[in-house]
Structure formats: C-alpha cells, structure tokens
Structure 1
C-alpha cells in the first residue's frame, strides 16, 4: 500500500474513523425501542454503557500510551472499535447490545488519548493552540459523521439495525491497515519502557493533576468538557424522543442529521475560534450553553421548529468553544511527560458529564415524563453553565507555553 498521506494525516483519519462508531447508534435508538419494547431509562442506560467503557479505559488503561507509544495503542483501539461495531450490528437483545457499546467505549478511550498525544507530537509547527484545535475538531467531525451516516442508511435501506454499521466497519478496517503500513518514529526513551514486563501497577487507576498554580484553570477546563459532553449527550440519547414535540419531521435521518449538525457546526466554531484567546472561548462557550438550555426549556412548551433550530446552533457553539478551551488548557498546563495523564483526567471529567446527568434524566423521564424531566435538566445544566461562565471571567488569563 502506497501511503502518500503523511503520518499526521493518517493519525487524524484514524481518530476520525475511530470515534465515528461511538455516536452511530444514536438515531437508531427509537428503532431499538420499537424492536425490543424499551423505556427511556433503558435507552439512557445503553447510552451510558458506552460511557462506562470509556471511563474504565481512561482510568485503567490511561498509561498504556506512555508505556507502548501512541501508534501501538491507536492500532489496538481501532481493532477493538471495529469489533465493538460488529458486535452492535449483530446484537439480538439489550445485554448483547450493551456489551458492544462497552467495547466501543473502551476503544474510544484508547483512541482519543493515543491519537491526541500523537497529533500533538507530530505537529511540527510546535503550536499547541493549533494542535488542540485540530484534535478537538477531528473528534467533533468523527462523532458527527457516525449518526449522520447511520441515520441516513437506517431511514432508507433494509435491515437498518445491521446496515447502518457497515460504513464504520469498512473504514475501521481501512484505518487499521493504513496504520500498519505507515512508519512513525517513537521517542528513543520508549524502547526502555517497552522492554520492561507489564506489571499490575500499570493498570491501576490513575488521576493526574497539574501543578498547583494551574489547578483553577485545569478545573475550569475539565468543567468545559463536563458541560459540553453533558449537553451533547442529551441530544445523542433522547433527542429522537423529545424532538417529536418540537419539529414536524421524524425518523432516523432527521435525528441523525440534528446530532451530526451539532457536531459539524461545533467543528466549524472550533476552526473559526482557533486564533482567539482561550479565556474568551470558555466564556462565550459557557454563555452559549446557558442560551441553549433556555431555548430548550421554552421550546418544551412552545413546540417551535425555529426555537429548536436555534437551540441546536447554540448547543453546537457551546460544545465547540468549550471543547476547544478545555483542550487548549490541557495543552497549556501540561508537559510532554504529563500530557497523557492530564488528558485522561480531563476526559474522565467529561465522561462523568455524560453519565451522571443523563442517568438522572432517564430516571426522571420514567417517573414524571420526558417533558418535565427535560425542563429539570435544562434548569440544572443552565445554572451550572452560568456559574462557570462567571467563574471564568474572574480567572486570570493562562499564558501559552512552548513545550
């Protein structure tokens, strides 16, 4: 195979393809509900199964990138992701489907950490702000591609719960093959760590924290991920359910496109905001998340397609700017030796933002109804984003180091 793309491009492609399978199932949840007779809480539990897998990966496997190098871990993550997508395609009930989602979650944790480290290392310009923006943009584009492709296929092709997964399977195999063909040099010190035998301590949960002087900045960066992930997971898990009251169009294609639009616009906002200061991105991002919660809250009673479209746009802006700010903060407060650990901790906080609020939303939906649960969710998340926005305005600007 003649790989004309440089290694950096193949790592970007691998990350995009790797995360494509994570949100692919989102527009299919109503079909699973009909096929298996599921409640809203079942959907949120299936959605969160992926998050638990990703969380376990970050906690227990976070040091593997430092141990074996990002290329080896990225290959393993892609293979695992492809197996998880295959398991989802052949799932016959909730436990088998949840198992596939857990495997996808574990793979996602390996892929995002290893590819992020690889993209930063292969960034020959030494611009950490650009590296953070490219990483965050690639993740957003890959996440968005999955539900769009899956939703379109599920809308018009037969056997939607199988055929929707085929593109992700094919691209995953291509990415695995490509990574075995390219040659990427790893740091010289990696040889000594690879020669050492694996020990149980290598799999102990690790939480890496920054220097004390950066603690407040890093905490706000983590909460950027918490709020951004939490708002996106609302659309990714239960949007097909509450969209029926807000827009006149229905089906996997509509819900998949709405989820994809959030992530594509998120990528666009991140691209446009690359040269802007990190502090400004965080403030505007949190403000947009406040706005999207207010719009969803009002639209729970108004049922306006226009208000829903505005909520999608503000969610995309908040998601993009908060993710950009969070990744930039991680790169600014870390050194090459601590970057993997700080990135893993940052993502752990982000995944907690998808697990805790969504489980609460699913439980409330079963007990008081989807509309009332959505109102409560928007009030809590909007208030949190507003308080964090105020905290950002009172936090000193973080300088840009050159590691």
Structure 2
C-alpha cells in the first residue's frame, strides 16, 4: 500500500510513487480503472440489505451476521498489507487481474450460497479481493491520469469509492425487492458488470518495478504516537458507525419501520455514505482539528438520535440520525487522515498509514461483533441502542481530548 496521499472518503491510497505511464489510450484506461474500483466496492456491499433474508433462510442470529461481516475485515487487512508493496514490485496488472477474478468468485459464492458456510467463504474472497485491489487501483489511477494530475486522480478515486460503497446496498435492495431471485440476481449482475473490468485489468500497460517486495509491517514512530492515538481514535469511532450501518442497521430499519422493503433498508446505508462523501468534499482544505472536533460532536448527536429513534419507533428520526451521523463520520475521518498525513515522517509515511488503516478496519469489523453478541441476549433494537450510547460517550471523550490539545497548541 504505497501512497502519497489518501482519498478523503474511504481511506484508500490515492497515489503511488511509480511514474505515470503515458501510453496511447491512457484516458480510456484511466476511466476503465475508475470503473473497476467502483464495481469492486459495489460488490463488497451488495450483501448489506440481504442479511435479514439470509437470517430467515438459513436460521441464524444477528451475531452470525456480524461474524460474517467481520471475517471480511480479517481477510482484508493482511491482503492490504501484502498486496500494496507487491504491486509496486511485480506491476499493477499482475495484482489487479487476480483481485478482480477473486471478486467475481466472491459474488459467485454468494449467488450459490445454500448455508452460512458459503457466506463466510464469499466474504473471505471479497476481503482478499478488495484488500489486494484498493492500493493498486488508486495507484493505477494516478499513473494513468492523462495529464499527470494527481489531484484529479484522487477526486475520481473518491467519487468511485464512495459511489461503490453507497451503490452496493442500494442496487441489491432494489433488485432484491422488485426483481426475481433476490439472493441471486444482485450477484449475477455484479459478475456481468465485472467482465469489462477483467478485460481492462488484463490490458493494463506493463509498469516497471519501483521497489523490492516485502510485506509491510504496520508501525508508528514514537514522535507521532500522541497524534496517532487521538486521530486514530476519532477515525476508529467514525468507522464503527460505518460497520454498524453496513451490518445491522438495515435489519434495524426493517424492524423500526415495520416494512420488509429491502430498497428502504439499503437506501438508509446509501444515505449515510452519501452524506459522508458530500461533507468531505465540502470541507476539503479546512483545518484538521476543527474537522475532527465537529465530526465527533455530530457523530455523538447522530448516535443518540439513532438510539432515540428505536425507543420511540420513529423512522423519520432515524433518517435524521443517518444524515447527521453520516456528516459526522465524514468530517471526523477527513480530519483524522489529514492530521496523520501532516505528522507522518516522509521516510515512514506508508508504514504510519498502514497502521492507520489497520485501526480503521478494526473499527469497521470488531465492535459490531460485540453488538451481535449483545443482540442475542437483549434483542437487536436494544443492542443497537446500547452500542450507539457507548460510542457516543467515547466520541465525547475523544472530542474533549482533542479540544484540550488544540487549545494547548493554539496558546
């Protein structure tokens, strides 16, 4: 995962140290690479509104949903740490083509799923695919941008990443609700849409190796550990909310609304991610400490409203909570990654960012396992409410730490 900067919306690396490849048709390759990134992230979030149906069909609990969700992160992290430097060493094409094929296999496993074992296998394949592809795809975008404009490449990466994260639940919800074969058609559609991506990755230009391959061991230099701790915690909390929305909130929405409409469940996730992306684009360039403080405050408010919405069974309040939480998530993460980029020493930049990614993906995958365990005892609505309350308190604690630190630096 070799980077020069990060895309603000997802934390995907936005550039590589490799020189841009200027070849005829590179504009077409640029947009084909953006399409591939969009489709990879769309596919990994297709299951989001379908978990309720899997629960009913295969007879498992919300705990199993969170474990299925978390195994994706367990597979993704080592893949991310290995494949980033590997693509610098052996070339983008040799990493990206297998990654896209793995993504297609993951969707095929979902389409064929007849029990929970298939779901675990499919999520592992998706985690390996996205972990391998995320760094190499965003690096390829930077290298293939026709005018060598890395800012434009980063913007396209941001739009493609967030578009995929939001489009997956929405597309699956619409197809599952209004088309036949609700647990098959979304994944068959993804496989068909990945065919142009396979062709595009197979025809990428050869790139010259820039480094010798070695697995990247996450580490944080001592001088930046204070900033890493506070900013890492802010982004960890921001991504616990993403994990909650991607795993359990669709079921929460159906219980709260009394509707089994899968498009509604997927739409709530898409709304949250859309608000996150819009907030980041609007706030780009603003001071990082203020972004983190404002984001954590909004996250806390959104989480409290999420809990209250469940208590009073109010779908409109849930949508308000989704919007506020999405904006807060976007600002907190943008501020955190900006601050990490500022303090990371140039010779350890990738190592620090690798560690930061591990923190983020742990935020996505680990806390929701606790919610799943809790849901088996208290029920889903109560578990989500308790989780939201605890994370809101942690947001306020980190907000206080960051505020004190910001005042001390300004004095």
TM-score under structure 2 normalisation? 0.84
Shift in alpha-carbon separation, 1:117–1:284, aligned structure 2, 3 A:
farther
Specify the alignment match of 2:181 in structure 1.
159
Shift in alpha-carbon separation, 1:189–1:23, aligned structure 2, 3 A:
closer
User: How much does 1:172 deviate?
Assistant: 2.2
8 Å contact from structure 1 (residues 3, 181) kept in 2: no
Query: Aligned residues, how many?
Result: 383
Match of 1:227 among 227, 230, 237: 237
Q: Deviations over 1:139-191 (max 9, x none)?
A: 222111111111100001111111011232123221221133343755x634x
Match of 2:170 among 148, 167, 179: 148
The alignment partner of 2:342 has SS state of helix
Q: Deviations over 1:184-221 (max 9, x none)?
A: 755x634xx37xxxxxxx45x72132x43333333333
Shift in alpha-carbon separation, 1:286–1:118, aligned structure 2, 3 A:
farther
Specify the alignment match of 2:14 in structure 1.
none
Is 1:238 paired with 2:248? Answer: yes
Specify the alignment match of 1:357 in structure 2.
367
Q: Distance in 2 between matches of 1:142 and 1:334?
A: 29
Match of 1:206 among 200, 217, 224: 217
User: How much does 1:125 deviate?
Assistant: 4.4
Superposed counterparts of 1:280-291, under 5 Å: 280-291=290-301
Specify the alignment match of 2:395 in structure 1.
385
Superposed counterparts of 1:112-127, under 5 Å: 112-119=134-141, 124-125=148-149
8 Å contact from structure 1 (residues 266, 319) kept in 2: yes
User: How much does 1:33 deviate?
Assistant: 1.3
8 Å contact from structure 1 (residues 132, 324) kept in 2: no
8 Å contact from structure 1 (residues 138, 267) kept in 2: no
Unpaired runs of 5+ residues, structure 1, are: 195-201, 398-403
Specify the alignment match of 1:322 in structure 2.
332
User: How much does 1:14 deviate?
Assistant: 2.3
The alignment partner of 1:246 has SS state of helix
Superposed counterparts of 1:299-378, under 5 Å: 299-334=309-344, 338-378=348-388
The alignment partner of 2:60 has SS state of coil
Q: Deviations over 1:110-159 (max 9, x none)?
A: 222323444566674465xx776654443222111111111100001111
8 Å contact from structure 2 (residues 254, 260) kept in 1: yes
Is 1:268 paired with 2:278? Answer: yes
Shift in alpha-carbon separation, 1:221–1:62, aligned structure 2, 3 A:
farther
Specify the alignment match of 2:35 in structure 1.
13
User: How much does 1:369 deviate?
Assistant: 1.6
Specify the alignment match of 1:110 in structure 2.
132
8 Å contact from structure 1 (residues 151, 254) kept in 2: yes
The alignment partner of 1:150 has SS state of helix
Q: Distance in 2 between matches of 1:136 and 1:394?
A: 32
Is 1:216 paired with 2:237? Answer: no
8 Å contact from structure 1 (residues 248, 305) kept in 2: no
Q: Distance in 1 between matches of 2:96 and 2:192?
A: 17
Q: Distance in 2 between matches of 1:119 and 1:3?
A: 14
Match of 1:189 among 182, 187, 210: 210
The alignment partner of 1:189 has SS state of coil
User: How much does 1:90 deviate?
Assistant: 1.1
Shift in alpha-carbon separation, 1:147–1:368, aligned structure 2, 3 A:
same
Specify the alignment match of 2:48 in structure 1.
26
Moved more, 301-310 or 244-253: 244-253
Specify the alignment match of 2:197 in structure 1.
175
Moved more, 79-88 or 166-175: 166-175
User: How much does 1:378 deviate?
Assistant: 1.1
Q: Deviations over 1:19-63 (max 9, x none)?
A: 111111010111111211121111111111212111232355454
Unpaired runs of 5+ residues, structure 2, are: 1-23
8 Å contact from structure 1 (residues 208, 342) kept in 2: yes
